[in-house]
Structure 1
Amino acid sequence: MSKIHFGTVALVLLFLGCSQISGDGPASSLRLDRAEALVSDDPHHLPFDAVEWERVALPDAWDKTRPGLSGGVWYRIPVLISGQVNEPWAVLLPRFSMNAAIWWNGRMLGSGGSMSDPVARNWSRPLSLLLPADSLEQGEHWLYIYLRALAHDAGGLGYVYVGPHKYLKPLFERNTFIHITLAWVALVITSVITLVMGVLWFLQKKHLELFWMALAGLFWSFVIGNQVLKYPPVSHYYWEWIVFSSLGGFTVCLLMAVHRFIERGNEHLERAIVAIYVLNSLLALAYSGGNLVIWFNFFHIASIALGFYMVCLCLWHYRQTGMIKALWMGMAISCAMLFAGHDWWVTIHAEHLTSLFVMQFGPPLMLLLIGGWMLMHVSSSLRSQEQQRLEAEEKVAEISIKLQQESKRRLELERKRILTEERHRFTRELHDGMGGHLVALKSMLAEKGAEADNAPFSEVLDQAIRDMRLIIDAVGDECDDIGMILGLLRSRMEHELKAADLHVTWNMISLPAGCLLREGSSIHLVRILQEAITNIIRHADASWVEIRATEFRQGSKSMVRIDVADNGEGIVQKNSRGRGIGNMEQRCEVLGGQLSVEGNPHGGTLVSLTLPCREL
């Protein structure tokens, strides 16, 4: 609410400040308020000998003294210089309409533009010209001014000032700033707001209030342009029609924007107002007979009525809903109507050639206030949408990652399923085919008798059958748990170890559950341990063997050490290592581990295998 109070106070102070600006000149200059006037359409020849001159008081407003006049009027004013002039002098016309040319003692000084069609339009543009230095002697001088205006252009001449240029220049610059420079600033502000709202509406088409505010700003740009444009791009009549139509179009578009801004539309009312506006504009263009001012008075009255309607609607909506933006818009429109009410009071009760008109500044300020609120609202909406977009993108990315992970998981499961089926098929064929042949061959040897002669063959067949079963167990079940692999190896080699009369100790107490090898590499561990135990049985001449498994940490990795120790003859020379140890080392490399085979000085051999555990 503090922002609303600050904006209201600022607008009221600006309005009061503008209303206090007057056209009074400096005390050291001559303010001429008496003249003689002569109606004439000849702007080139001074009517020295004319007898139709009539005395008039300045300001001379044609709508009161010469209603409906379209053409020109000569003014002549005697100027008495009572002393010696030692500095540049000038003549200043603060307010006149539409164009003026100035003569001093019959010498033309200059003009405000073209006197022929199209006539230069100087609604509020002051005119200041230097007087010739050689014609400022003491005595009476004659100042001639020719004024040209078209009908219904509010033609007229305000006060005329003659005096030192250094005193009149500040007055000229002040009037130029107030009436021209500020009008250009208002036009630029209106155009920028219109462009920004138009672009935002193009990007966010759901915010129709931006479209209507942009269109209202476009209409008002023509109204302000009428104050600063000297030569319109079309004829006087059509330009006046564009300006008056723009005034009505601004009000209609503002109504559309208000309805959408406070979300309180009335479709039937909107259609009726648009239809009346379009119909009245077209009728004025076709049947006005050149007098657009009278025809468009209807627009002025309707605009005031719609302004009160919009203010009341916004305030009522604020009271019903507490919506701050409704109060803000109502106050902004009230400020614009305050400016318009000032100009209406000046037109009815004051002299327009000496008063300041401020209505052209009201709508730009209103557009600035409402547009700023809308921009903040749209900016907040865009930020919210951007946040939602980012959140949606994050969710999509998260879902995409999950889908990819799920896809990888499904592919991995499918791969495992296919691999398991293939392993089962392989082991089944191996068991049913090769296993059946080996068992059949053993039966045939048993049937022939002579067990002593067939004993070596039977022993080899038994070893082959046990070896085949061990392979089937290692490959077919796809077990990567080290503890289960050691247990499987124990069950398959128990008979062979007993037959060798070896005392076997399996020490796996310090091996926790869940120590896994690389996937699909269990056969290599089985073969390494099988080779180590087989070497003990065949070559070590040992009486006991110990198989020990221990888990430990190496940095951040979990490792397993498997030792196979015996009390046999041991390995004395490295050169005595055969092909079996080489195969063990190759398999250990596949497992990503290290293998060491060392002879014990006190007898026996120690085979140590260090392997990394796979992380789940």
Structure 2
Amino acid sequence: MEQCRASFRLSLHRQEKEGRLVSLYIPAYQGRVTVSLNGVFLATSDWEQSETDSWSTSPLLVPLPDPLLQPGTNDLRILLTSSGAKFGFLGRVAVGPDVLLRADYDRRTFLFSTLPRLIDGWEIAMGVGMLIMWIARPRERIFLLVGAMLLSQALTSLPAILGDVLGERILLLANHARFVSTSLILPLACLFVGRRPPVPIRVFLLLPAAVAASLTTLPLEIHQWLLFGIFTPIGVLNVLAAALVLSWAAFKDRNGEALPLLGAFLLTLILATHDLMNLLSGVNDVGIPLSRFAAPLLLTTFSAVFMWRFAVTMNMLDRFNSRLKREVAATEEALLRSFERERIPARAATLEAERVRLMSDLHDGIAGQLVSTLALCELREVGPAEVAGTVGAALADLRLIVASLDDYGEDLGVMLALFRERIEQQVAAHGVELVWRTGTLPDLKGLHPGAALAIFRILQEAATNALRHSGSAELRFEAAPSPVAGRGVRQRLGDRGRGGAADRPGSHGMGNMRRRADGLGATLTILSDASGTTVTLDLPARLPPAAPSPTAFLAEVR
């Protein structure tokens, strides 16, 4: 790669040793600087920055060793070397007491070396944060563009951070990474104001791709001509177009967020134009590339706007949450009032249904028993024992009705235990032994008082028939999970009597048992032969809900 050299000679006259440190101060330069005193090498700018870091303006302070300073004239030489697509530049230099020069050196070192590194860290952190936001919300392409711009801008600092470790070609490519951010300015401005970019975003990446291809494949002279004659003007036009989009949004669409960005873009354009003119002319009295400060300015503006948007969004969410809480509270209150209005007639309907059921049970059971008792009392030839038996049957039926009103939940075992307590006295009074076997029973879904009474009456009727007609000395009861598919519990009541159980004229016992089993959705099986009679009741896994008909029952009573 072709190099340009320029040698500067300074004559430093010293009368006698002063006893204080004297230094050479170079505030601004571009390229590689080598300093020698009286033919002795002192320092090189490679110690401070890479030669490929054409955008860095770190100052150089070279102490002049006292043993090398001779009384009289001293020869101080500065060799400036430049190569690649940049011009060499050496600003004003100063030689004097180190204590006087170091204050300005420290100030410029902070501004042009330390501060840019801090900004690079800020750009990297924000760039990674924007990419994470884009990964979380891939439809928000503005986060992808901002992240790519910030990271590409930070990439240009590789020469200043790593020096010449990676090689000159790679560092030059890193220097040209700023064309990525330049090319993405226009689509970023369009997305920021809610407009579609004029062409797909990948088309804008052709500019940095062309710059990289030119740097790596073409001769240096052709690359320099393309860089300053085509690529850079295209980048400037891109910034101008972005400024135009923001101007239209700020003034035509009254977009307040576009105003600070428009100012930042215009200032960036001014700084870039200033540096471009300096590069093309090759003359610069200051030697400071002002566009170095454009990225921090743009970054700060974008950060402020995004933070403002975030704050506005959070305020909107807070207001929305407050309104939503009020609406939810009002809706809950309205629902509670509505439920309360619906609960009152529902409660009344439930009470009415239970009243009608009890009336029906009393009418079917106790009322008939009392009528029979009254008829027996009117017949003078009937003895007290028969009347007492009829009254006892009515009392047993009343006890069944009362027992059915208990809350058994879905536990059939508790209900059967209560039935056993009721039936044991009756069985013992007839001199019959009760054999009771129950295993672990599954829950009986939908068990309600009406269903409990129906089960009680089926079992009561089967037990009464066995005690009256079988002549058996033993009554067996078993309850276990039903082996029939779709059934829940099987109950079986049997004897070892004479059998012969069948429907008889004028008797409704077995018919009532079947009717009650059908109402439960259960299967009733009666087997009777010479070995005895067995009544089997297979209950469903879920009982049907109670659905009494008050109107039909009252009509029947009337």
Q: Judge same fold: TM > 0.5, yes or no.
A: yes
Determine if contact 1:201/1:207 at 8 Å carries over to the other structure: yes
Q: Work out the CA distance in 2 between the residues paired with 1:324 and 1:425.
A: 75
2:217 counterpart residue number:
287
Determine if contact 2:22/2:96 at 8 Å carries over to the other structure: yes
2:116 counterpart residue number:
183
Q: Work out the CA distance in 2 between the residues paired with 1:388 and 1:205.
A: 25
Shift of 1:413: 9.9
Q: Which residues of 2 match residues 419-438 of structure 1 at below 5 A?
A: 424-425=356-357, 427-438=359-370
Q: Work out the CA distance in 1 between the residues paired with 2:115 and 2:164.
A: 20
Shift of 1:215: 1.3
Q: 2:257 aligns with which of 325, 328, 337?
A: 325
User: What amino acid does structure 2 have at the position aligned with 1:167?
Assistant: L
- SS of the residue aligned with 1:443? helix
Q: Work out the CA distance in 1 between the residues paired with 2:325 and 2:318.
A: 10
- SS of the residue aligned with 1:176? helix
Determine if contact 1:100/1:145 at 8 Å carries over to the other structure: yes
Shift of 1:176: 1.9
Shift of 1:96: 3.1
Corresponding residue pairs, total: 403
Output the TM-score relative to the length of structure 2: 0.59
User: What amino acid does structure 1 have at the position aligned with 2:26?
Assistant: L
The farther-off stretch of 142-151 and 297-306 is 142-151
1:209 counterpart residue number:
142
1:160 counterpart residue number:
93
Q: 1:344 aligns with which of 252, 267, 276?
A: 276
Ranges in structure 1 where 5+ consecutive residues have no aligned partner: 1-67, 477-519, 521-616
CA pair 342-152 structure 1, distance change in 2 beyond 3 A: closer
1:241 counterpart residue number:
173
1:453-511 deviation line (CA, Å, top 9, x unaligned): 99xx99xx99x999x99x999x99xxxxxxxxxxxxxxxxxxxxxxxxxxxxxxxxxxx
1:136 counterpart residue number:
69
1:309 counterpart residue number:
241
Matched, 1:254 2:185: yes
CA pair 433-187 structure 1, distance change in 2 beyond 3 A: closer
Q: Which residues of 2 match residues 41-440 of structure 1 at below 5 A?
A: 69-70=2-3, 74-82=7-15, 84-113=17-46, 123-226=56-159, 228-229=160-161, 231-244=163-176, 246-268=177-199, 270=201, 272-274=203-205, 276-277=206-207, 280-281=210-211, 283-291=213-221, 292-297=223-228, 298-348=230-280, 351-352=283-284, 354-382=286-314, 384-385=316-317, 388=320, 424-425=356-357, 427-440=359-372
Determine if contact 1:120/1:230 at 8 Å carries over to the other structure: no
Q: Which residues of 2 match residues 578-593 of structure 1 at below 5 A?
A: none
Determine if contact 2:186/2:241 at 8 Å carries over to the other structure: no
Q: CA RMSD in A?
A: 5.0
Q: Work out the CA distance in 1 between the residues paired with 2:258 and 2:50.
A: 45
Q: Work out the CA distance in 2 between the residues paired with 1:306 and 1:69.
A: 32
CA pair 271-440 structure 1, distance change in 2 beyond 3 A: same
Q: Work out the CA distance in 2 between the residues paired with 1:346 and 1:118.
A: 21
1:41 counterpart residue number:
none
Shift of 1:360: 1.1
- SS of the residue aligned with 2:33? strand
Q: Work out the CA distance in 1 between the residues paired with 2:295 and 2:52.
A: 26
Shift of 1:418: 8.3
CA pair 285-387 structure 1, distance change in 2 beyond 3 A: farther
Q: Work out the CA distance in 2 between the residues paired with 1:396 and 1:280.
A: 59
User: What amino acid does structure 2 have at the position aligned with 1:102?
Assistant: V
1:500 counterpart residue number:
none
1:288-310 deviation line (CA, Å, top 9, x unaligned): 22454333232210111111111
Shift of 1:217: 1.2
User: What amino acid does structure 2 have at the position aligned with 1:112?
Assistant: S
- SS of the residue aligned with 1:448? coil
Q: Work out the CA distance in 2 between the residues paired with 1:181 and 1:286.
A: 31
User: What amino acid does structure 2 have at the position aligned with 1:191?
Assistant: I
Q: Work out the CA distance in 2 between the residues paired with 1:439 and 1:358.
A: 116
2:419 counterpart residue number:
none
- SS of the residue aligned with 1:256? helix
CA pair 472-175 structure 1, distance change in 2 beyond 3 A: closer
Ranges in structure 2 where 5+ consecutive residues have no aligned partner: 406-448, 450-558
CA pair 363-282 structure 1, distance change in 2 beyond 3 A: closer
Identity percentage of aligned residues:
17
Determine if contact 1:197/1:371 at 8 Å carries over to the other structure: no
Determine if contact 2:57/2:288 at 8 Å carries over to the other structure: no
CA pair 268-404 structure 1, distance change in 2 beyond 3 A: same
CA pair 447-311 structure 1, distance change in 2 beyond 3 A: same
- SS of the residue aligned with 1:229? helix
Q: Work out the CA distance in 2 between the residues paired with 1:126 and 1:84.
A: 27
2:519 counterpart residue number:
none
- SS of the residue aligned with 1:307? helix
Shift of 1:421: 5.9
Q: Work out the CA distance in 1 between the residues paired with 2:37 and 2:212.
A: 47
- SS of the residue aligned with 1:142? strand
Q: Work out the CA distance in 1 between the residues paired with 2:318 and 2:165.
A: 44
Shift of 1:78: 2.5
Output the TM-score relative to the length of structure 1: 0.54
Q: Work out the CA distance in 1 between the residues paired with 2:135 and 2:334.
A: 37
Q: Which residues of 2 match residues 397-546 of structure 1 at below 5 A?
A: 424-425=356-357, 427-448=359-380
User: What amino acid does structure 2 have at the position aligned with 1:184?
Assistant: R
Determine if contact 1:99/1:121 at 8 Å carries over to the other structure: no
The farther-off stretch of 417-426 and 405-414 is 405-414
User: What amino acid does structure 2 have at the position aligned with 1:241?
Assistant: L
